[in-house]
Structure 1
Amino acid sequence: MHPTLITELRFEPLNLPLTEPFAIATGAPERADNVLVRLTLADGTVGLGEAAPFTAVSGETQASTLEAMASVRDALVGRDASGWRPIGAWLTEALPRAPSARCGIELALLDALGRHHRMPLATLFGGAGRALDIDMTVTAGDEAHAAASARAIVARGIRTLKVKVGALTPEEDVRRMVIIRREAPGARLFADANGGYTVAGARAFLSGLEAAGVPLALFEQPVSREDWEGMAELTRASRVPICADESARTVADVVRLGREGGAHGVNLKLMKSGVVESLAMWNVARAFGMELMMGGMLESTLAMSSAVHFAAGLGGFDYADLDTHLFIREHSFRGGLRCEGGRVDVGHVQAGHGVELE
């Protein structure tokens, strides 16, 4: 039997308590209800993966993710992990509405393959680098929460803050941004509405920031995923770069955004699209000359380490929103990414993503 044949696929719930609810414009989960994946090769190598469904973004749940994985398990056993890209493409067709399930399997497969060949994932993805500078999120909330979050983030040594907006009125969000600017005067500021504004609301938010003298470096997904015209209208008019997130789930989405001028950049998330689809999206976005952000849903150290390998290994990313592991209060993993201030590094990893289950 070939040593890299897949002999077993196992998965189970992975429930992770958070330091605070991860509040965005469309929801506020208080716990990460993820899925842990184990994939075994014929030589006994075991790879670990994680699926992080975020219901408010993709409609997936932990239960639906487990069900999706069960539906493809028998078809995966006996395949050669060396063909990870064809396997990823097949998963995209088999599970079109379950991207986090696909991603969890792909990550376990790639980790097993990396361990088998004694190769870190950053090398497998291209070897462009091993480290990234990240932001940290100020979740949706009131003004007191915004001030406390900004102070805590700056105390970590992180100098880029990504503020969740769109849950309140534009005027209320502007007041939150003013307070965050006061608490972190030298920080670079992003805003992420997760589709929570209308075009008029997004314009009011930008105008309010300009009047208040608050500089914004990036505005992510100001209007809903389906409002393609609104995204293009804001992109044409805004002096602040507009980044698509929910509007960029597939290669076809990125092609449409590029052709219609629907965004200056796109946020790639492995859990939103899967690994192989994200690779294709990276290529298309680069071909259109769009900026690139690497982001996450609500992953622990396991999947977040994999995202660092992906983005650092490929290179070409302008922004790294890879902070969700900092919101996980307790977990049973060791190894993987190292975080010092606003920099994450996987240069020490010898094989796979480097994360072990204690």
Structure 2
Amino acid sequence: MKITNIRVAEISVPLKVPFKTALRTVTSIEDIIVEVHTDTGNIGYGEAPPTAVITGDTKGSIVGAINDYISKSIMGMDIENIEGIMKKIDRSIVKNTSAKAAVDIALYDLYGQLYNAPLYKLLGGHRKEITTDITISVNEPEEMAKDSLDAIKRGFKTLKIKVGKDPLIDIERMKTIRKAVGYDIKLRIDANQGWKPKEAVRVLRKMEDEGLEIEFVEQPVEAHDVEGLKFVRDNVSIPVLADESVFSPKDALYILQQGAADLINIKLMKTGGLHDALKICSIAEIYGTECMIGCMLESKVSVNAAVHLAAAKSVITKIDLDGPFLCSEDTIEGGSTFEESKITLNDEPGLGIKKINGLKYLD
């Protein structure tokens, strides 16, 4: 099974409601889809969201990296040599992790097809069903409490609350939400780098004093501030999850060596795909550190790849793969089944994706 062509397309899917964080507001998914074609007629699918504020990748940079560098480096290679292909991709261009992830995902899809097995079984086969949280966008406290109750009615038992815009209001947000949902629901918070280290400690200690029972706090400080991240971890009892601070296996190793986080968040768009995500899983296992699997604003294609990784590896104990639930429509045929908080994998080869509707090809 050899690579004969790589096509790039756009996909546009409106969101049910605007997605708001401390960094941005988004109303629709506008992603790049990759199709890797082979001499056997098999097609592998991948996806990349242009998330410039986090990865630095734009639509133009993703398309350019794939067409001008990545594709040329791997054309004609045999899918059986997945290790050799990944080395070629890594060396074809620096950074550009989202572009690399899109191609990486499509190739792993083909790898599963080559051996006629669902990808999660090839990667570890730990389980066939996972349960995700759902994200509550940052708004006024009362609106966030309402959104939280709506999510609970849909069957979600774990909520990830976006904070980080205003420390005092953040405390009020969490008090209002906890009062509304009670204590049978897990609350985790994501500051998206919105606080300074000392500020984060003050806010989190106040949440501790209020008895809000926060499961963990995700990326409370700026991505580059590993010292600040460690300061927060050393001065609060709420566990700290490193997200934007960890792109590569090297980043994960450094964070754990420094004792800067209790948990690591793996996102395929940061790692450049499954190949390096698997390495982060191995590093975390060595350090006895649990991982969360997360996503950007992505449709079911790349989220499906993250689902397979989560199902494969026992070190991934926290699931934050709610992207498809936020979409107003599903344009992807096949793949895992998303039923509110429950995600179930099927036994189709690779990622199991049959077709993607509504594509606008860029070649």
TM-score (norm: length of structure 2): 0.93
Secondary structure (helix, strand or coil) at the match of 2:16 reads: coil
- Seq. identity, %: 29
- CA separation of 1:252/1:245 partners in 2, compared to 1, >3 Å: closer, same or farther? same
8 Å CA contact retained: 2:325, 2:340: no
The alpha-carbon distance between structure 1 residues 180 and 51, as it changes in their structure 2 partners (threshold 3 A), is same
- Deviation string 1:244-294 (CA, Å, 9 cap, x unpaired) is 000011111111111110101100011111221111111112212222000
Which residue in the other structure is 1:173 paired with?
170
Of 210, 224, 228, the match for 1:212 = 210
Deviations 1:189-222 (A, max 9, x none): 1011111100122112212212322110111100
Counterpart check, 1:44 vs 2:7: no
Q: Distance in 2 between matches of 1:145 and 1:96?
A: 42
Aligned AA for 1:306? A
Which ranges of structure 1 fall in alignment gaps of 5 or more residues? none
Q: Counterpart of 2:301 in structure 1: which amino acid?
A: L
Q: Would you tell me which structure has more strand in proportion to its own residues?
A: 2
Matched ranges for 1:202-281 at <5 A: 202-274=200-272, 275-281=274-280
1:80-124 Cα offsets, whole Å, 9 max, x none, are 111223322332232332111111111111112222322101112
Paired residue secondary structure (1:266):
strand
CA distance in 1, matches of 2:87, 2:190: 30
- TM-score normalised to the size of structure 1? 0.95
Per-residue CA deviations over 1:288-342 (Å, capped at 9, x if unaligned) read: 2222000001111111111110111122212011111111113421222223342
SS in 2 for 1:176: helix
- Contact 1:232–1:262 at 8 Å: present in 2 too? yes
SS of the residue corresponding to residue 19 of structure 2 reads coil
Partner Cα separation in structure 1 for residue 349 and residue 173 of structure 2: 43
* Per-residue deviation, 1:163: 0.6
Matched residue pairs, number?
A: 353
- Report the secondary structure of 2:20's partner residue: coil
Alignment partner, residue 326 of structure 2 = 327
Query: In the alignment, what sits opposite 1:291?
Result: 290
- Which stretch has the larger CA shift, 222-231 or 281-290? 281-290
1:16 is matched with 13
8 Å contact 1:9–1:40 — kept in the other structure?
Answer: yes
Q: Which residue does 2:181 correspond to in 1?
A: 184
Q: Distance in 1 between matches of 2:65 and 2:328?
A: 27
Q: Which residue of 1 aligns with 2:160?
A: 162
8 Å contact 1:84–1:106 — kept in the other structure? no
- Any conservation in 1 of the 2:188–2:216 contact (CA below 8 Å)? yes
Matched, 1:310 2:309: yes
Q: Contact 1:10 / 1:39 at 8 angstroms: preserved in 2?
A: yes
Q: How far apart are residue 34 of structure 1 and its match?
A: 0.7
Matched position secondary structure for 1:47: strand
Moved more, 336-345 or 55-64: 336-345
Runs of 4+ off more than 3 Å? none
CA-based RMSD: 1.4
- How far, CA to CA, are the matches of 1:332 and 1:339 in structure 2? 13
Cα distance in 2 for residues equivalent to 1:284 and 1:89: 19
Within the candidate set 109, 123, 126, 1:125 is matched to 123
Provide the secondary structure at the position in 1 that maps to 2:315: coil
Kept in 1: contact 2:289–2:315 (CA 8 A): no
Q: For 1:93 and 1:22, locate their aligned partners in 2 and report how far apart those are by CA, in whole Å.
A: 35
Q: 2:36 touches 2:43 (CA, 8 Å); kept in 1?
A: yes
